[in-house]
Amino acid sequence: MLKVRTRDIYEKFDLELICGEEGIDRPITTSDLSRPGIELAGYFNYYPAERIQLLGMTELSFFEKLQGSDRVLRMEQLCTDITPAIIITRGLEVPDELIEAAERESVPVLRTKFKTTRFSGNLTNFLESRLAPTTAVHGVLVDVYGVGVLITGKSGVGKSETALELVKRGHRLVADDCVEIRQEDQDTLIGTSPELIEHLLEIRGLGIINVMTLFGAGAVRTNKQIILNIHLEIWDQDKQYDRLGLDDEKLKIIDSEITKLTVPVRPGRNLAVIIEVAAMNFRLKRMGVNAAKQFSEKLSGVIREGGPQEF
């Protein structure tokens, strides 16, 4: 399925369509952009034709100095059957040679009033967001004290009920049941909800509820960076759970890793409070305050000084 087409950037940035309307639905497969200065000088050995081509003041002022035959040839070489678009910046005049070549190859020629550098940055950010690797995870995503917490676990373990309690305590729901995740950078995972179930929670016995309708617009958000995973599992009395918090378990999603905490579930445990404390403790650790590590160091110091008999 195509993620981005030329039409998407045409509509997103309110560009002016000069010619090549037949190719307006061409796919864009990379977020890299090209400013074909060296190509206009005649060197096309490594021409990245699959990229969007940006022509600014530098490129067009050089092009004006070319001879008539060279001008036609350069524009014909720029316009290929895989070039998604050629964009003229600063509202500059479009060369006739470009219009003729683009019409023959159905390459959309667009124009913007923005400066080349500014427009290039905005377009790159948009394309990187839309073309980022994506996946979907079964779980619930909640914003707890500014920490994007992905709650996972087997079906029926209480993920949605815990999320509902967190919303009641003033936190914000991002997604329930299915969390769509895109990796915008090496260690940046952004979670969103599928449009069909946005703002909805499924509670067994109640059915589907609309969180925004019940609790207001402040109880939901459209996306959140995921930095902590709370994995809920039914309490297993034969399993040894981490009691100090020194173990650093990780969950890998696409090519990024986030901190994972396994929380056992049994009657009487207030999971919402536990997740709140986990989020606050995670923030403290990122600020350099690690209670478990401090306790371990104090314990080691006491043992070195006086041995176990000092307790």
Asked if 173 and 110 sit in the same domain, the reply is no
Q: What's the burial of 6, exposed, middle or buried (CB within 10 Å: 0-12/13-18/19+)?
A: buried
Catalytic residue chosen out of the listed positions 8, 90, 130, 177: 177
Final residue belonging to a domain, choices 131, 158, 187:
131
State the DSSP H helix or E strand holding residue 128, giving kind and residue range, or none if neither.
helix 116-131
**CATH code of the domain covering residue 19:** 3.40.1390.20
- The verdict on whether 138 is a catalytic residue reads yes
Token duo for residue 118? 């500014």
Asked if 102 and 249 sit in the same domain, the reply is no
Asked if 67 and 148 sit in the same domain, the reply is no
Asked if 121 and 157 sit in the same domain, the reply is no
Catalytic residue chosen out of the listed positions 104, 138, 168, 298: 138
Final residue belonging to a domain, choices 96, 116, 131:
131
Q: How far apart are the first and last CA of the chain?
A: 65
Pair 248, 211: CB distance under 8 Å? no
Binding residues: 153-160, 202
- The verdict on whether 269 is a catalytic residue reads no
User: What tens digit of pLDDT does each residue of 75-110 get?
Assistant: 999 999 999 999 999 999 999 999 999 999 999 999
DSSP 3-state helix, strand, coil percentages of the chain (rounded to 5)? 35, 30, 35
State how far the Cα of 120 lies from the Cα of 88, in Å rounded to an integer: 11
Binding residues for Mg(2+): 160, 202
Domain range for 48? 6-131
Catalytic residue chosen out of the listed positions 51, 111, 159, 182: 159
User: What tens digit of pLDDT does each residue of 237-257 get?
Assistant: 777 777 666 677 899 999 899
- Return the closest-CA partner of residue 281 out of 235, 244, 233: 244
Q: Average of pLDDT values for 159-168?
A: 94
User: How many independent structural domains does the chain possess?
Assistant: 2
Catalytic residue chosen out of the listed positions 65, 239, 243, 252: 243
pTM, 2 dp: 0.74
Cα→Cα distances 49→83, 126, 135, 197, Å: 5, 20, 29, 39
- The verdict on whether 283 is a catalytic residue reads no
Q: Per the domain annotation, does 21 fall within a domain?
A: yes
- The verdict on whether 177 is a catalytic residue reads yes
Final residue belonging to a domain, choices 92, 111, 131:
131
Binding residues for ATP: 153-160
Q: Per the domain annotation, does 287 fall within a domain?
A: yes
